[in-house]
Chain A
Amino acid sequence: MSDPGDAAVSPGSGDGRVVVDLRGIRKEFPGVVACDDANLTVRAGTIHALLGENGAGKTSLVNVLGGVYLPDDGEIWVHGRQRQFHSPADAIAAGIGMVHQEFRLVPTLTVFENVVLGSAPRYLDMGQIIERVAHLAATYSLQTDPSRPVWQLSVGERQRVEILKALWRDADVLVLDEPTAVLTPAEAADLGLTLRSMADRGRSVIYISHKLDEVLSVCDEATVLRNGVTVAQPRSLAGIDRSDLAEMMVGEAAAEIQRPTDQPSGDVVLALEGVSALSDRGLPALHSVDIDVRAGEIVGVAGVSGNGQRELAEAIAGLRPTTAGTMQLEEADITGASPRARSRAGLAYVPEDRLGVGLAPTMSVVDNAVVRSYRSMRRRMMLDLRRCEDFCRRLVERFGVQVGRVHEPVSALSGGNLQRLLLGRELTGEPKVLVAAQPTRGLDVAGIAAIQSQIVAQRAAGVGVLLISEDLDELLALSDRLIVMYEGEVAARMDPTQVTRAEVGAAMAGTAQA
């Protein structure tokens, strides 16, 4: 958030009345305890931060409050009354408004239709409803055009529609799950103002985040979760700084990512020249991008999500047609080549969407392991199943994938194991270039460490790595060179050993010169 300071000490207009009180919540999923004795106390007129690392149980806890999950144990108190939420509708009726990480919007419907869906008047008087939605939006300075279809909106606008949905239902508790993850800094600042104006009107906001500076500038109070347990509940954030919060979240000092030792880099193995491509919506997403990756180096790509990183990865993988420019892998021109041709030329690709694009969820571990190299496991016209299984077992062992049976569907695996399997599959056959998009997102600490050490090992083995990530610490620690994407262009090229986080942040916001 670009506007620190003022909000950190203001107590909001709340009278200290407790609006939401979650006591001893426990929620278990097969094999995972998401919440275990989690407590959350939110007062009227405050913005309450819910902090914790990935997998600390923040999302599960608010989903219990939102009626999405039924808790296995514990009590939900709202406005001093104990409640049982059997469905999201129950929670909505109690005044809980949820803005999930994945928006719950219907793209083909208009903004106002999305806003009123579920609590519309019996007859839809268009003029009147549009006017009321516009008035509500203006009250909380949420800029939007009520009659535009949602599919035409930017991510930031969609988030405003989600907030409007909650306000339309007169929610007095608004829950936002990592709201700024998808926003530009300017949009994030606007969101901060909107939330403050809600708190000033006596509503409460539960703000899930792990961006500590943002929490300090926006929030009044905080609850910190660690491994599903509430470990701290500071009533005021005044006098608390980043490192205090970080310590509460992590417990002990977080393991520093080891910077790989310097090594001379080799020849250029991947060369992009003037590459342009369109987004899913047919708008320009990449404008004449030049990137070189040399053998034995890691080139990091930073940027706020939605600035062309996904399109860049897909264009290199051959999953998205380019509209201009050339791509070269070692000596070969791969500009118009099929994904298979690129893979044979030595390209390994770990997509952002690991269970969907990367792996086929309902297929078995074996089948997923061999889809890239099954051609070498044929016996005449048939697949040699024993060789497939052997191949899979070796892969599982080498990359430390924890599986029950190799014939069970991969959807049963945890995120970390999915990623180990996917990375392992892509790294068989000694690739020349590895393109990894968000390879550690959403993984636990052990998973992150395993994936990062594999990437470093590939670098040592002379592979050219393009690492696209939203985790700045990871990029700064692992990259030999850093590229910042902004609105589909390379906004800056930096030396990760010479820049500060703030400088990278400024480039991500489009305020630094390339």
Chain B
Amino acid sequence: MSEDAVIGLLVATVQFATLVYLAGLGELIAERSGVLNLGVEGMMAMGAVTGFMAAIATGRPWVGFAVAALVGMATAGVHAVVSVIMGAGQVVSGLAITIGGLGFAAFIGQDAVRERADAVFTDLGIIGLADIPWAGPILFDQPPVVYLAGVLGVAAWFVLSRTRLGLALRAVGESASTTDSVGHSVTLLRTSAVLVGGAFAGAAGSFLSLYMAAGWTEGLIAGRGWIAVALVIFGAWRPGRLAAGSLLFGFTLALQPRVQTFDLTIFGLEVNTISPALLGILPFLLTVVVLIAISFRARHRPSPAPAALTLPYRREER
């Protein structure tokens, strides 16, 4: 197995990790506020197609990226209105976002399918570092979105754990009535968290269409939104563990299309005989393992899941 193939695998790992990390971070923020949004897949599709079209129209990938974030936010707004403001079931509303978002994205993207993308993100090539063997291409010659995702991750950690806003957000995800009783607006906090989550998902979608695939086709998201949802559980609702999990999930995603070309034997197993379909379920399998581990550990201490997750809140119920 050649050095180039391994480097290629690791470069792709970082990019897939970025993709699911961005979307997962948004979902994490929404879930920490107590709102499960199963619409990640749909919001990513909406972001991917609108971001791509905006980038073609303006010739600027950053415009596409920003439009994707705004459209993701608007899509999430539907979820916020239905599940936070009107207090309807979060699961149903989220699934509707996914199904509707995928369909609507396919509809408005019909003409974009044939477009060739010239306005896409290019690798940053950090001067002096990009030429280092191995680390150069993997860490220092990536598109800017990769670094942005890192910055956003640190920012999200800081806001959640070190600011008044983060404290209120964590509290509202644990107990809405408590948070209400100390004067924070439950609706405002949760709506904002869902909207921010949508922006992250939309932006993640555009990273696919504006860089990784450099184009739009129906089915482009291909279940990565669901992987992001699973990743939040895998990461136990913490930004740091989410980052670690995204690298692991990113690795399986990067390995999937490449595995059959690898001429490598590990413990007598020829790697190229592993089915890519089997690799595809690995993130979900790992998530189930984590869920089981949590349930074993959670006997005597609170679960890492926000206690008020999926519970709508209404005031003055006696």
B216 to chain A, nearest CB (A): 41
- Known interface pairs A88-B183, A104-B177, A282-B299; A117-B163 also in contact (CB < 8 Å): no
- Cβ of B181 and Cβ of A123 under 8 Å apart? no
Mark A355-393 against chain B: 1 for CB-CB distance below 8 A, else 0.
Answer: 000000000000000000000000000000000000000
Return chain B residues, CB-CB under 8 Å to A106: 170-171, 174-175, 178-179
Complex Cα–Cα for A124 and B175 (A): 20
Residues of A contacting B: mostly? loop
B166-206 at interface with A (beta carbon < 8 Å): 166-168, 170-171, 174-175, 177-184
Judge if A461 is at the interface, Cβ distance under 8 Å. no
A170 to chain B, nearest CB (A): 14
Return chain A residues, CB-CB under 8 Å to B301: 151, 281
Residues of B in contact, count (CB < 8 Å): 27
Judge if A122 is at the interface, Cβ distance under 8 Å. yes
- Known interface pairs A69-B316, A282-B300; A92-B164 also in contact (CB < 8 Å): no
Complex Cα–Cα for A370 and B301 (A): 36
Judge if A214 is at the interface, Cβ distance under 8 Å. no
Which residue of B has the minimal Cβ distance to A106? B174
- Cβ of A119 and Cβ of B316 under 8 Å apart? no
A34-74 at interface with B (beta carbon < 8 Å): 68-69
- Known interface pairs A109-B170, A113-B167; A29-B181 also in contact (CB < 8 Å): no
Partner of B174, one of A87, A92, A98, A109: A109
Complex Cα–Cα for A89 and B315 (A): 13
Residues of B contacting A: mostly? helix
- Known interface pairs A69-B316, A281-B300; A88-B164 also in contact (CB < 8 Å): no
Complex Cα–Cα for A265 and B304 (A): 52
Return chain B residues, CB-CB under 8 Å to A107: 174, 302, 307
Mark B145-169 against chain A: 1 for CB-CB distance below 8 A, else 0.
Answer: 0000000000000000111111110
Complex Cα–Cα for A89 and B180 (A): 8
Which residue of A has the minimal Cβ distance to B318? A29
- Cβ of A124 and Cβ of B164 under 8 Å apart? yes
- Known interface pairs A124-B162, A151-B301; A87-B178 also in contact (CB < 8 Å): no
A463 to chain B, nearest CB (A): 35
- Cβ of B164 and Cβ of A87 under 8 Å apart? no
Judge if A108 is at the interface, Cβ distance under 8 Å. yes
Partner of B167, one of A29, A89, A124, A282: A124
Judge if A105 is at the interface, Cβ distance under 8 Å. yes
Mark A89-126 against chain B: 1 for CB-CB distance below 8 A, else 0.
Answer: 10011000010100011111100010011111111101
- Known interface pairs A108-B302, A117-B179, A124-B163; A68-B168 also in contact (CB < 8 Å): no
Return chain A residues, CB-CB under 8 Å to B307: 107-108
Which residue of A has the minimal Cβ distance to B308? A106
Which residue of A has the minimal Cβ distance to B299? A282
Judge if A165 is at the interface, Cβ distance under 8 Å. yes
Complex Cα–Cα for A131 and B15 (A): 44
B21 to chain A, nearest CB (A): 24
Partner of A123, one of B163, B168, B175, B180: B163
Mark A117-149 against chain B: 1 for CB-CB distance below 8 A, else 0.
Answer: 111111110100000000000000000000000
Complex Cα–Cα for A362 and B179 (A): 26
B270-318 at interface with A (beta carbon < 8 Å): 299-302, 307, 316, 318
Return chain A residues, CB-CB under 8 Å to B168: 117-118
Partner of A120, one of B167, B177, B300, B318: B167
- Cβ of B184 and Cβ of A118 under 8 Å apart? yes
- Cβ of A116 and Cβ of B167 under 8 Å apart? yes
- Looking at B180, B182, B301, the one whose CB has the most chain A CB atoms below 10 A away is B182
Where the two chains meet, the residues of B that have a C-beta atom closer than 8 Å to any C-beta of A are 161-168, 170-171, 174-175, 177-184, 299-302, 307, 316, 318
Pairs across A and B, CB under 8 Å, 19 listed: A69-B316, A87-B183, A88-B183, A98-B181, A104-B177, A104-B178, A104-B182, A105-B175, A106-B175, A106-B178, A108-B170, A108-B174, A113-B167, A117-B168, A117-B178, A122-B163, A123-B163, A151-B301, A282-B299
